[in-house]
A and B are shown apart, each in its own frame.
Chain A
């Protein structure tokens, strides 16, 4: 893995957490939306918090699709769940919130998941060459960096 790839994975984590937080904050102010008022769900993206959240989610999407261009889905998803750990650490040490033992156990489990998956190769399957429709002559795993 190159440093650039680590930055892309970090971007997935940070932008997703920020975007989700902003969108959920905006939705708290909106309240319940009835199925009879479907246009409301479209108009809600013009709320400032939701709009900013959508911008962060677009940045997340760019990093996410970039990561998927060189790594398996089953590598990218657990590897980027480090965002949950960051969020808990920020809650405890920056916001000085009380973090229960159960939540620390959750952090431990996620850390184990991240650690386990990142020890393996990021790409395991034989993908088709872009645009040619032909399978590569060498296994993709042979290109995986240590």
Chain B
């Protein structure tokens, strides 16, 4: 029988764990992306800042930003949830499912929390990429 979602070494079935990990990956990734995006907008264009004040100033400004630190924590949580997810289910389930869902949740979160102008163009892009990722995994 071919290995599929929720089946790993030894034939142990853990679909609930796998989808729980995917839910945590999506939530933590979205929170991390939004926090990092907010932090980097507060820091400003890194290229311009580096030319003006040097790499040290960029690092200090980024590392002293609370949103950046919270974003890194959220991304770390997503990374470890991904490691758990990959140990419980196949990469062909965990990565496409979490990636495609994150595209959509990020678009919603960016509109609500970052006040980005998510027009039809960007919604179409998010949904097309999410759909494409799912098709790649089938």
| Nearest chain A CB to B3 CB, angstrom units | 11
Q: Mark A3-47, 1 if CB is under 8 A from B, else 0.
A: 010000000000000001001100110111100000001001000
CA distance A50 to B47 in the complex (A): 30
Q: Which residues of chain A come closer than 8 Å to B14, judged between CB atoms?
A: 32
For chain B, what secondary structure do more than half of its interface residues adopt (helix, strand, loop), or is it mixed? helix
Which residue of B has the minimal Cβ distance to A66? B46
| Nearest chain A CB to B71 CB, angstrom units | 9
Cβ B116 vs Cβ A125 within 8 A: yes
Q: Which residues of chain B come closer than 8 Å to A98, judged between CB atoms?
A: none
Tell me if A92 counts as interface (CB < 8 A to partner B). no
Tell me if B110 counts as interface (CB < 8 A to partner A). yes
Which residues of B from 76 to 96 have beta carbons under 8 Å from A? Answer: 79-80, 82-84, 86-88, 91, 95
Q: Which residues of chain A come closer than 8 Å to B84, judged between CB atoms?
A: 33, 41
Of residues B39, B61, B118, B125, which shows the largest number of chain A Cβ atoms within 10 Å of its Cβ? B125
Q: Mark B1-24, 1 if CB is under 8 A from A, else 0.
A: 000000011101010000000000
| Nearest chain B CB to A52 CB, angstrom units | 15
Q: Which residues of chain B come closer than 8 Å to A64, judged between CB atoms?
A: 36
Q: What are 15 A-B contacts with C-beta separation under 8 Å?
A: A23-B82, A24-B91, A24-B95, A41-B80, A65-B46, A69-B43, A77-B129, A102-B138, A105-B132, A114-B125, A117-B121, A125-B115, A130-B42, A130-B44, A130-B61
**Residues in A lying within 8 Å of B, measured CB to CB:** 4, 20, 23-24, 27-28, 30-33, 41, 44, 57, 61, 64-66, 68-70, 72-75, 77-78, 81, 84, 88, 100, 102-103, 105-114, 116-117, 119-120, 124-131
